Structure 1
Amino acid sequence: MSLLLDTTGAVDSGLRWTTGFRALGPAFFTDLKPTPLPAPYWVGRSDAVARYASIDADWLPTPGALAVFTGNALLPGMAPLASVYSGHQFGVWAGQLGDGRAILLGQTGGGLEMQLKGAGRTPYSRGGDGRAVLRSSIREFLCSEAMHGLGIPTTRALCVTGSDQGVRREEVETAAVVTRVAPSFIRFGHFEHFAAAERDDELRALADFVIDNFYPACRTTDRFGGNAYAALLEAVSERTAALMAQWQAVGFCHGVMNTDNMSILGLTIDYGPFQFLDGFDPKHVCNHSDTGGRYAYNQQPNVAYWNLFCLGQALFPLIGDQEIAIAALESYKTVFPREFEARMRAKLGFADAADGDRILVEGLLKLLAAERVDWTIFWRRLSHHVADGNPEPVRDLFVDRAGFDAWLRLFSERSAQTPREVTAKSMLATNPKFVLRNHLGQEAIELARQKDFSGVERLLKLLETPFEEHPGFEHQAGFPPDWASSIEISCSS
Structure 2
Amino acid sequence: MASFKASLGALLTVGSARPRLYGLPLRSSALCSAWAAAMEPAPRWLAGLRFDNRALRELPVETPPPGPDGAHSAPRPVPGACFSRVRPSPLRGPRLVALSGPALALLGLDATAPEAEAEAALFFSGNALLPGAEPAAHCYCGHQFGQFAGQLGDGAAMYLGEVCTATGERWELQLKGAGPTPFSRQADGRKVLRSSIREFLCSEAMFHLGIPTTRAGACVTSESTVVRDVFYDGNPKYEKCTVVLRIAPTFIRFGSFEIFKPTDEHTGRAGPSVGRNDIRVQMLDYVISSFYPEIQATHASNSDRVQRSAAFFREVTRRTAQMVAEWQCVGFCHGVLNTDNMSIVGLTIDYGPFGFLDRYDPDHVCNASDNAGRYTYSKQPEVCKWNLQKLAEALEPELPHAVGEAILAEEFDAEFERHYLQKMRKKLGLMQVEQEDRALVARLLETMQLTGADFTNTFYMLSSFPVEQQAPGLAEFLTSLTSQCASLEELRLALRPQMDPRQLSMMLMLAQTNPQLFALIGTQANVTKELERMEQQSRLEQLNPAELRRRNSDHWAAWLQEYRARLDKDRESVGDTTAWQAEHVRIMRAHNPKYVLRNYIAQNAIEAAEKGDFSEVQRVLKLLESPYHSEGEAAEGPEPTGPEGEAGEQRSYSSRPPMWAVGLCVT
Sort the TM-score into its range (normalised by shorter chain).
Answer: over 0.9
Residues 454-469 of structure 1 mapped to structure 2, 5 A cutoff: 454-468=615-629
Residues 273-422 of structure 1 mapped to structure 2, 5 A cutoff: 273-319=353-399, 321-330=400-409, 331-385=411-465, 390=473, 391-392=477-478, 393-397=480-484, 399=549, 400-416=552-568, 417-418=570-571, 419-422=580-583
Q: Which 10-residue stretch deviates more, 456-465 or 418-427?
A: 418-427
Distance 1:42 1:389, change over 3 A: farther
d(CA) in 2 for partners of 1:104 and 1:351?
44
With the length of structure 2 as denominator, give the TM-score of the two structures. 0.71
Q: What residue in structure 2 maps to residue 13 of structure 1?
A: 47
Distance 1:9 1:98, change over 3 A: closer
d(CA) in 1 for partners of 2:42 and 2:92?
23
- 8 A contact 2:101–2:110 mirrored in 1: no
- AA partner of residue 48 (structure 1): P
- 8 A contact 1:12–1:59 mirrored in 2: no
**Shift, 1:486, TM fit:** 1.2
- Choose which of 205, 224, 248 in structure 2 pairs with 1:146: 205
- Choose which of 28, 39, 47 in structure 1 pairs with 2:82: 28
Aligned residues with identical type, % of pairs: 44
Q: What residue in structure 1 maps to residue 260 of structure 2?
A: 194
d(CA) in 2 for partners of 1:119 and 1:286?
26
Q: What residue in structure 1 maps to residue 596 of structure 2?
A: 435
- AA partner of residue 258 (structure 1): N
- AA partner of residue 239 (structure 2): E
**Shift, 1:11, TM fit:** 4.3
d(CA) in 1 for partners of 2:640 and 2:43?
43
Distance 1:278 1:284, change over 3 A: same
Structure 2 unaligned segments of length 5 or more: list them.
1-18, 21-34, 62-80, 230-236, 263-273, 486-548, 572-579, 642-651
**Shift, 1:353, TM fit:** 1.3
Q: What residue in structure 1 maps to residue 666 of structure 2?
A: 489
d(CA) in 2 for partners of 1:460 and 1:263?
24
Q: What residue in structure 1 maps to residue 135 of structure 2?
A: 80
Distance 1:415 1:37, change over 3 A: same
Residues 125-164 of structure 1 mapped to structure 2, 5 A cutoff: 125-164=184-223
Q: What residue in structure 2 maps to residue 67 of structure 1?
A: 122
Q: What is the aligned length?
A: 488
- AA partner of residue 17 (structure 1): F
Residue 216 of structure 2 aligns to a residue in which SS?
strand
**Shift, 1:410, TM fit:** 1.9
Residue 317 of structure 1 aligns to a residue in which SS?
coil
**Shift, 1:350, TM fit:** 1.2
- AA partner of residue 130 (structure 1): G
- AA partner of residue 88 (structure 1): H
Distance 1:455 1:389, change over 3 A: farther
Distance 1:350 1:242, change over 3 A: same
d(CA) in 2 for partners of 1:448 and 1:116?
20
**Shift, 1:217, TM fit:** 2.7
- 8 A contact 2:96–2:117 mirrored in 1: no
- AA partner of residue 640 (structure 2): F
Deviations 1:364-403 (A, max 9, x none): 1111111221100101111123599742322444533222
Deviations 1:37-60 (A, max 9, x none): 010101111111111122244266
Root mean square deviation of aligned Cα: 1.9
- AA partner of residue 290 (structure 2): N
Q: Which 10-residue stretch deviates more, 250-259 or 380-389?
A: 380-389
d(CA) in 2 for partners of 1:107 and 1:31?
15
d(CA) in 2 for partners of 1:425 and 1:81?
46
Residues 439-454 of structure 1 mapped to structure 2, 5 A cutoff: 439-454=600-615
With the length of structure 1 as denominator, give the TM-score of the two structures. 0.95
Q: What residue in structure 1 maps to residue 158 of structure 2?
A: 103
- Choose which of 269, 287, 296 in structure 2 pairs with 1:210: 287
Residue 120 of structure 1 aligns to a residue in which SS?
coil
Residue 264 of structure 1 aligns to a residue in which SS?
coil
- 8 A contact 1:12–1:56 mirrored in 2: no
d(CA) in 2 for partners of 1:32 and 1:42?
24
**Shift, 1:65, TM fit:** 2.8
**Shift, 1:220, TM fit:** 5.0
Distance 1:386 1:107, change over 3 A: farther
Deviations 1:116-146 (A, max 9, x none): 0000000000110000000000000000000
- Choose which of 90, 109, 113 in structure 1 pairs with 2:145: 90
- 8 A contact 1:386–1:424 mirrored in 2: no
d(CA) in 2 for partners of 1:303 and 1:354?
29
Higher relative contact order (CA 8 A, sep 6+): 1
d(CA) in 2 for partners of 1:118 and 1:317?
36
Larger radius of gyration: 2
- Choose which of 236, 244, 254 in structure 2 pairs with 1:178: 244
d(CA) in 1 for partners of 2:146 and 2:420?
25
**Shift, 1:232, TM fit:** 1.1
**Shift, 1:354, TM fit:** 1.1
